[in-house]
Amino acid sequence: MTDPQQTPDPKQLLAAIDLGSNSFHMVVAQRVQGEIRTIEKMGEKVQLGAGLDRDNYLSLEAQERGLECLKRFAQRVASMQAESVRVVGTNALRAARNASTFIHAAEEILGTEVEVVAGREEARLIYLGVSHTLSDDLGPRLVIDIGGGSTEFIIGERFETRETESLHMGCVSFRNHYFPDGKISRKKMDNAITHARQELLNIQQRFRARGWENCVGSSGSIKAIESVVRDLNLEREGISRQSMKDLRKRLIDMGRVEKLEALGVREDRRSIFPAGFAILYAAFESLEIEFMSFADGALREGLLYDMAGRDTHEDVRERTIQALQVRYSVDTAHAEAVEQTADRARVQVASAWGLSSPYYSNLLRWACRIHEIGLAISHTQYHKHGAYLMTYSDLPGFSQDVQRSLATLVRAHRRKFNNKIFESHSPEDIPPIKRLALILRLGVLLQHARTNESPPPFTLEAKGSRLSIHLPGDWLDNHPLTLADLQSEQAYVKQADMELVITKGD
One digit per residue, pLDDT tens: the chain, 506 residues? 344 445 667 678 999 999 999 999 999 999 887 788 999 999 999 999 999 999 999 999 999 999 999 999 999 999 998 889 999 999 999 999 999 999 999 999 999 999 999 999 999 999 999 998 887 666 899 999 999 999 999 999 988 999 999 999 999 999 999 999 999 999 999 999 999 999 999 999 999 999 999 999 999 999 999 999 999 999 999 999 999 999 999 999 999 999 999 999 999 999 999 999 999 999 999 999 999 999 988 999 999 999 988 766 578 899 899 999 999 999 999 999 999 999 999 999 999 999 999 999 999 999 999 999 999 999 999 999 999 999 999 999 999 999 999 999 999 999 999 999 999 999 999 999 999 999 999 999 999 988 888 888 999 999 999 999 999 999 999 999 999 999 999 999 999 999 999 999 87
Q: What is the pLDDT of residue 313?
A: 56
Question: 220: closest CA among 349, 43, 49?
Answer: 43
Q: Is 0.85 topped by the overall pTM?
A: yes
Domain at 134-295: CATH code: 3.30.420.150
Question: 167: closest CA among 147, 193, 192, 140?
Answer: 147
Residue 450's CB is within 10 A of a number of other CB atoms, namely 11
Range(s) of the chain covered by CATH 3.30.420.40: 10-117+303-307
Find the helix or strand (DSSP H, E) in which 134 lies: none
Q: What is the pLDDT of residue 2?
A: 41
CB distance 3 to 73 below 8 Å: no
Range(s) of the chain covered by CATH 3.30.420.150: 134-295
Q: What is the pLDDT of residue 32?
A: 83
CA distances from 453 to 324, 337, 448, 475 (A): 27, 10, 11, 12
Pick the CATH number of 10-117+303-307 from 3.30.420.40, 1.10.1740.110, 3.20.20.70, 3.50.50.60: 3.30.420.40
Range(s) of the chain covered by CATH 1.10.3210.10: 315-453
Helix (H, G, I), strand (E, B) or coil at 394: coil
Spatial neighbors of 396 by CB under 8 A, at least 6 apart, are 120, 121, 124, 161, 316, 317, 319, 320
Pick the CATH number of 315-453 from 1.10.540.10, 1.10.3210.10, 2.70.98.40, 1.20.1250.20: 1.10.3210.10
Spatial neighbors of 114 by CB under 8 A, at least 6 apart, are 19, 87, 88, 89, 93, 103, 106, 107
414-446 as b/e: b if 16+ CB within 10 A: beebeeebbeebeeebbbbbbbbbbbbbbbbbb
